[in-house]
Chains A and B, each alone.
Chain A
Amino acid sequence: MTTASTAGQASGPATPPAPLVRALNVHKAFHGTEVLKGIDLDVARGEVVCLLGPSGSGKTTFLRCINLLERIDGGRIWVDGELMGYAEKGGHLYELPDKKLAAQRREIGMVFQRFNLFPHLTAVANIMEAPVLVRGLDKATARARAMQLLEQVGLADRADAYPGQLSGGQQQRVAIARALAMDPKLMLFDEPTSALDPELVGDVLAVMRELARDGMTMIVVTHEMGFAREVADRVVFMDGGVVVEQGPPKEVIGNPQHERTRTFLARMRDDPATDGDQALSL
């Protein structure tokens, strides 16, 4: 805790080309088990960062901490210069009330492994919900924007379908459109293709690739090596709650320096279900 606050003051959020996301010494424990043991990570504007690592390495937890779905026990996270979850006044931290948390969250889009679309609303209504409720957009404007987003993810013809009538890949693309409807500064993807049948993965990755090309800042937890190699500006390999190594995908995936990274990548290559080249070919 103390180290975190000194680190925060030392290299504070004021460094000239401020990163969009800055995480310093982030700690998180669940019921006494430490899942994150001091994560430091900066993500620049427009950068695409892929988080790789074995399950249980803390990638998903870290992602959820950025979006305040989990409260961190130590360290600090800033997004766009704003301290997440707390207000710092006179050397003391104050927990932000729910309203302020909601205000911080709506600047960040999140895509879940299991889509989490609202099953009682049609695809277009799923996308309209937050802009109407949170941003106070009128329904006509929200609908027009939602239709435009559905077009962007290639599902304009499925606007009136309920999530239960869509395939997994289609649901995930609607979920991406739903997150984009809030015009987020940052998009977080939590294993967006892990729950999909292999032949549906390509469509989702194509949408994400398009987003990256348009300059969206993205943090992606994924097992899709092909996607990481092709789209990521930087790959971060996590294991046991710490960042083991990071760098351009060519170096980390092509020539890993650490034993743990090598073991993980070798296992990924052996497993045909997660073979990256398959995603690339689509």
Chain B
Amino acid sequence: MTEQASAGQAPLPTEHDDRPGAIHARPVRHPLRWVGAVVILVLAAMLVSSFVTNPRWDWGLAGEVMIQRPVLNGLLMGTIVATVASMVLGVALGTAIAVARLSTNPVLRMLSFVYTWFFRAVPRYVLLAMIGVGLGYLYSTLDLGIPFGQQIAGALGLSHDLTFYSLDVRAITGGLVGGIMGLALSEAAYMAEIARAGILSVDKGQTEAAEALGLSRAQTMRRIVLPQAMRVIVPPTGNETIAMIKDTSLLTAVPVITELYFQTSQIGVRTYRIMAGFVAATVWYLIVCSVLMIVQSYVERYFGRGFGQARVGRQTNRRFARGGGMGGA
């Protein structure tokens, strides 16, 4: 081998004790990287200098806007609570729809298809207005009783209209609850597709092994398939959550006004210093999303256990090995 490999100019060593030692090679140079870095640094410096020199950025007031009580209230209720609630509901409903979509029951399959078709087609802003304003207008009360009970009672001339309980729809759908409902219903349609992809990503052998052991279909789904599907489901769900934080600014359609963007922009408008409102909202959204990204990385690591780690002896590197993301087995 060594005799033939004469690609280099240097004479090949033939003596036994002349065998090649440790390699101290010079790395390949990347001059363009340096040029690019310098250009970006200069542009960044210009931007930062404009932050300081352009008074219209209004940093001082933006800081104050961020900690106003109505803004904090809007951040907590309209942004954080609405995001968490609509995502929890959306993920639960979406997973159920995905399972229904993959079930052997044709009625469930059809139902979940129609659901996904409808709620993916309707824009969130329109949906929120429909629920917040439209539902209360169409059905001011929700009567629980026998189906077509009022018609039947009318036809038979009964005094009772066969309604057992009445709900005031407007009181429920007009506010934050209606907003959360709308966002959750819409989210479930997207989550259903994500969960379906996750479930389908699990090897069929897993289901067979579980069934061969005598696990029921439900047990197989809950204990074997879904935990493995989570590895595929979690990253896009993090994406959806971050998108949801931003979509809570659509809650004004319901209308819900205890919401971050509405509150900050209103202060901007009232004080005739609009940038302060925009900056305050932007900084809060940045902070919330950054926290979420950290949470997401921990969740991914949890559901990635058993995957993506090389063979024996790599346990010490586990923390870092997972950083590579989805490269699992």
A residues near B (Cβ < 8 Å) are 67, 69, 98-99, 102-103, 105-110, 112, 114, 116-122, 129-130, 133-134, 161-167, 175, 178-179, 182
Contact = CB atoms under 8 A, between A and B. Distances in A.
B205 interface: yes
Given A119-B228, A120-B227, A129-B223, A162 B305 contact: yes
Contacts of B212: 67, 69, 105, 108-110, 179
Contacts of B312: 161, 165-166
A39 B203 CA distance: 30
A119 B205 contact: no
B329 interface: yes
Contacts of A67: 212
A154 to B, nearest CB: 16
A118 B209 contact: yes
A266 to B, nearest CB: 33
Contacts of A175: 209
Interface string B152-167: 0000000000000000
12 contacts: A103-B214, A109-B212, A116-B205, A116-B206, A133-B223, A163-B306, A164-B306, A165-B309, A165-B312, A165-B314, A165-B315, A182-B213
A182 B209 CA distance: 13
B281 to A, nearest CB: 40
B214 A120 contact: no
Interface of B: 203, 205-206, 208-217, 219, 223-224, 227-228, 231, 303, 305-307, 309, 311-312, 314-315, 329
Given A109-B212, A116-B209, A134-B215, 19 more contacts: A69-B208, A69-B211, A98-B217, A102-B215, A102-B216, A105-B211, A112-B205, A118-B210, A119-B307, A119-B329, A120-B228, A120-B307, A130-B215, A133-B219, A162-B306, A162-B309, A164-B311, A165-B311, A179-B212
A121 B227 CA distance: 10
A241 to B, nearest CB: 22
A251 B77 CA distance: 80
Nearest to A130: B213
A35 B283 CA distance: 66
Nearest to A122: B306
A92 B85 CA distance: 52
Contacts of A164: 306-307, 309, 311, 329
Nearest to B228: A120
A97 to B, nearest CB: 11
Nearest to A103: B214
Nearest to A119: B306
A167 B310 CA distance: 11
Contacts of B306: 119-122, 162-164
B9 to A, nearest CB: 43
Contacts of B223: 129, 133
